[in-house]
Amino acid sequence: MLNRLFFFTFAHMRGLNKDMTFTHKQWKWLFCFMLCALVSLAAIIVSCSTDSNIQRRIIHRKVTVTRIIHRENNAMNSYEQLLVNAGFVDISTIDTTIKVDIRYATRDNFVGKNLYNNFKKCFLQPDVARKLEAAQRALKQRDRRYSLVIFDALRPCSIQQVMWDSSKLTTEQKRNFLADPSETSLHSYGVAVDCGIVDTKGQNLDMGTCYDFPGELAYPILEESMLKKGLLTQSCVENRKLLRWAMKRAGFICNDYEWWHFSSCSRNTARDLYPKIIDFAQVMPPPVKEQVSHDTGETKTVYKVQVATSRAGLEAARSSLRGIKVSAYVHEGREKYTAGEFNNYLLAFNLKDSIRNIGITDAFVVCFNNGKRMSVHN
């Protein structure tokens, strides 16, 4: 349009008077041309400025998103390191054939929210991971087409509370479906797994309900009744039985109300032996209990965890040792400090790892024979 106006303006201007003055009509055309030129120039400037602002916003958003992702990745990396330091292991380091599909790291769960900040790994206590490996081996030997798939494993206490609060079931119904947060879920100790079976195409075997279905149709104790009522098929029941067979063969304990849930030990055993995950940044060591034998024999060997070699060192570690009983002994002319007292070296070793994880990184196991310190190796 501007080019056309330019053409007509100068076409009219060719007819100037001899004294080189403009006629009224020529002045009108010249004014229109200058006005359109200014408007076009302003439009070009605004367009460039807008494009620049949009580009800056895009760059800013990219940087912001990158920073958020980086921050979340750092948080998850810190969480993973926390678990490793506390002695938990990633099942993929034990058996790469076990499939992992952590549902609470997605929205595909009864809460409908991503509760794990996209942390999609299966961490367990080492002995529990070995049991799971044995269950996978038993399943493969039974039918090589199938593999275990893990829906959930280690679960922080804070997430257990969120799940409890999010459920719309009655308190009694909740207790069949979720562990009361006040009693601590076995998942929080890393000694329980929720799992199913997948085929070679990655398809879940039909168990009659989806994972974490909060109803009687998921109860193993009601399977026969549901089968007679036609609410479960024979194929679904057989698939559940296959899963239970593999898990029980490896030493897991079945659950009467969830076909997917299996535990490695009782809650009391877990509470005594294993640390629990409070949230994504905190681990609580197992309580220290007196484990000293009262045998009347001449030899009495106990294991303790040394936490400080001076009064100043003990005071520095006092906040981390809150709730843990500490005792003193004299060795090489110096007063030193220990936590716990066990007949079993493994229990002392577990306590040592837990104490290291809460900040006392130089803690180690010491041994006493009839009250005299001796080499742990001996």
d(CA 229, CA 104): 32
pLDDT at 316: 78
pLDDT at 330: 85
d(CA 260, CA 280): 24
Q: Is residue 260 part of a domain?
A: yes
Quick one: tokens of 341? 């007292």
Neighbouring-strand partners of residue 248: none
On whether both 155 and 211 belong to a single domain, the answer is: yes
Q: How many domains does the chain have?
A: 2
d(CA 221, CA 225): 9
On whether both 295 and 241 belong to a single domain, the answer is: no
Q: Is residue 361 part of a domain?
A: yes
CATH number of the domain within which 263 lies: 3.30.1380.10
d(CA 199, CA 80): 29
Q: Is residue 139 part of a domain?
A: yes
On whether both 243 and 315 belong to a single domain, the answer is: no
Decide: 274 and 191 in contact? Cβ < 8 Å. Answer: yes
Measured in degrees and rounded to the nearest 5, phi and psi for residue 235 equal: -60, -40
Neighbouring-strand partners of residue 353: none
What sign has the CA pseudo-torsion 311, 317, 322, 323?
negative
- The alpha helices in 178-310, defined as continuous H runs, are 223-228, 234-249, 267-273
* Sequence-distant (≥ 6) Cβ neighbours of residue 110 within 8 angstroms: 163, 166, 167, 212, 213, 214
Rounded alpha-carbon distances, angstroms, from residue 350 to 84, 173, 378: 13, 35, 20
On whether both 201 and 297 belong to a single domain, the answer is: no
d(CA 117, CA 72): 8
On whether both 233 and 332 belong to a single domain, the answer is: no
On whether both 99 and 235 belong to a single domain, the answer is: yes
Of 249, 273, 297, the position where a domain reaches its end is 273
The model's pTM is: 0.61
On whether both 188 and 136 belong to a single domain, the answer is: yes
Decide: 364 and 338 in contact? Cβ < 8 Å. Answer: no
Tracing tokens 């403009």 back to the chain, one arrives at 22
Q: Are strands 253-254 and 261-263 parallel, antiparallel or unpaired?
A: antiparallel
d(CA 149, CA 211): 11
CATH number of the domain within which 333 lies: 3.30.70.1070
d(CA 340, CA 85): 20
On whether both 190 and 156 belong to a single domain, the answer is: yes
Residue numbers of the domain that contains 346: 288-374
Of 238, 273, 308, the position where a domain reaches its end is 273
* Sequence-distant (≥ 6) Cβ neighbours of residue 178 within 8 angstroms: 160, 163, 164, 167, 185
On whether both 367 and 256 belong to a single domain, the answer is: no
The DSSP symbol for 98 reads S
Q: Is residue 30 part of a domain?
A: no
On whether both 211 and 126 belong to a single domain, the answer is: yes
Quick one: tokens of 166? 């999010």
Of 250, 273, 296, the position where a domain reaches its end is 273
Decide: 285 and 356 in contact? Cβ < 8 Å. Answer: no
d(CA 181, CA 198): 31
Q: Is residue 11 part of a domain?
A: no
Q: Is residue 129 part of a domain?
A: yes
On whether both 108 and 197 belong to a single domain, the answer is: yes
Mean pLDDT by 10 residues, the chain (378 residues): 48 49 62 74 66 55 45 64 87 95 93 88 93 96 96 94 88 84 92 96 96 93 95 97 96 95 92 88 72 49 87 76 74 84 77 74 86 76
On whether both 232 and 294 belong to a single domain, the answer is: no
Q: Is residue 218 part of a domain?
A: yes
326 by Cβ neighbours in 10 Å (0-12 / 13-18 / 19+) ranks as middle
Q: Is residue 161 part of a domain?
A: yes
